[in-house]
Amino acid sequence: MATSDLMPVDEAFNQLLAQARVLSDVQKRPVSDSLGCILAESPVSGVNVPPTDNSAVDGFAIRYQDYQQQGTLPVSQRIPAGVGPEPLKPGTAARIFTGAAIPAGADTVIMQENTELDGDTLSITKAPESGQNIRPRGQDIEQGESLLETGTRLLPQHMGLLASVGIEQARVYRPLTVAILSTGDELVPPGQPLKPGQIYNSNRDMLRGLVTAAGWRIHECGDVADTLEATRDALSDAAQRADIIITTGGVSVGEEDHIRDAIEALGQLNLWRLAIKPGKPLAFGHVGNTPILGLPGNPAAVLVTFLMLARPFMRCCQGEVGPPLPAPEHVALAFSVERPQSRREFQRVRCHEENGNRWLEAAPNQSSGVLSSACWADGLALIPENESLEVGDEVAFYSFTQLMYG
């Protein structure tokens, strides 16, 4: 098949996202156990944060007018945090601590460092400003305010925010269950001896890591023999048990490649063969209603296609709102690309920095079967299709950290 038959990456990306729909149902989950979950509603605060005006420092609460009129103020009460205060007696000061409620009648707090205490008599040693050191009620969040948007991925600060308004349970989308299925009669699980012609299955553990890093659950389907019947059976079983199916290998044009035929037999093939390097034979379709991403077999191609296409699609299926891919940085190449390619290439690169200058060095072996280069590298550089590039030209750089966790 000529390269002109390959679908451009941008077109495939857009078609994938256009077919993404939220696949998981909504569940209530303790906020304390919801890191990485996607909010299925925008919670509303039932309270003000803080609930009352309170002191920003350890010191003394006074009425500013009393300070203006009197040289010293007797201390009339003590207000630790967590206690409801009495109204401030006119002409007096209240000993107060950080976070404690301001008593009615007080309007200013003096830091203890700017005071002197003689018995119960307070002198103020530095002129205060009216209203200082008070954190007003609702300064952070007002009652009735909606807090976070539906589709937000809960980061630790979001968990803290929900807790700060007293929300114990959040409505979130159940994390997707992803079926992982390896094809290839040559594959052996790590831990067993290799016989002639066999290789270890590296894609399975890598995919487990990629899926787990994204916060999804795994349905392990095991290895599938390279026959159409076994592939069909495995796919139809996986479709019953998971929200999305990911396969590796068996998606190219060889006689031992059965993924495509199995998808067509059980549902429909929506995309196949992209102008991407590595990863050209990627397939996308549906087994019944269950989306399936048929990733290539070569491990570096699995890594690239998962991060650049499968993960963005799956984030949309999880109900996450916002850019499906992280924004890349633009970094200069330390190498040239002399022969323009018709496929968009994602090279494994290392980003160096010295004296404020940054540049990208390519891993020496970009073969799609070489996974060690992805461990040497710290990200992917997007080499645009049909362009030659010189040393110093800037390209989009995606760090693995952003691509896997961002």
Query: Which of 354, 338, 345, 339 is CA-nearest to residue 395?
Result: 345
- Minimum CB separation of residue 291 from Mg ion in Å reads 22
Options 128, 151, 285, 299; binder of ligand AMP; rule CB under 6 A = 299
- In the complex, minimum distance from the CB of residue 310 to ligand AMP, in angstroms, rounded to a whole number: 15
Q: How far is the CB of 254 from ligand AMP (least distance, A)?
A: 6
DSSP labels, 345-368: EEEEEEEEEETTEEEEEE-S---T
- DSSP-derived letter for residue 292 is E
Decide: is 299 part of the binding site for Mg ion (CB under 5 A): no
Pull the structure tokens for residue 2: 């000529």
Running DSSP on this structure, what letter comes out for residue 109? E
Which of the choices Mg ion, ligand AMP, none does residue 187 contact, using the CB cut-off of 5 to 8 A by kind?
ligand AMP
State which of residues 175, 184, 294, 299 lies at the interface with Mg ion (CB under 5 A). Answer: 184
- Using CB distances below 5 to 8 A depending on partner kind, what does residue 186 bind out of Mg ion, ligand AMP, none? ligand AMP
Question: Would you say 180 and 218 are in contact if contact means Cβ atoms under 8 Å apart?
Answer: yes
8 Å CB contact between 133 and 110: yes
> 239 in helix, strand or coil?
helix
Given 248, 290, 366, 373, the residue binding ligand AMP (CB under 6 A): 248
Backbone angles phi, psi at 43, to 5 degrees: -70, 150
| Distance set, CA 201 to CA 194, 297, 400 (Å) | 11, 10, 22
Give how far Cα 244 sits from Cα of 151, 313, 370, Å: 19, 10, 27
Tokens of 349: 């690169």
- Per partner kind, with CB cut-offs from 5 to 8 A, the member of ligand AMP, Mg ion, none near residue 55 is none
Q: Which is nearer to ligand AMP, 82 or 197 (CB)?
A: 197
The interface partner of residue 285, options being ligand AMP, Mg ion, none and the CB cut-off 5 to 8 Å by kind, is none
The reply to whether 201 sits near ligand AMP by the rule CB under 6 A is yes
Give the pair of three-digit tokens for residue 159: 């968990």
Under the binding rule (CB under 5 A), the answer on residue 294 touching Mg ion is no
Query: Which CB, 302 or 333, lies closer to ligand AMP?
Result: 302
Cβ atoms of 393 and 322 within 8 Å: the answer is: no
Is residue 247 within the footprint of ligand AMP (CB under 6 A)? no
Stretch that binds ligand AMP, among 72-80, 242-250, 322-330, 382-390 (CB under 6 A): 242-250
- Is position 182 an interface residue for ligand AMP (rule: CB under 6 A)? yes
Smaller CB separation from Mg ion, 296 or 319: 296
The DSSP secondary-structure symbol of 403 reads H
- Residues near Mg ion (CB under 5 A) are 184, 249-250
- Residues near ligand AMP (CB under 6 A) are 182-184, 186-187, 199, 201-204, 248-252, 254, 257, 296-299
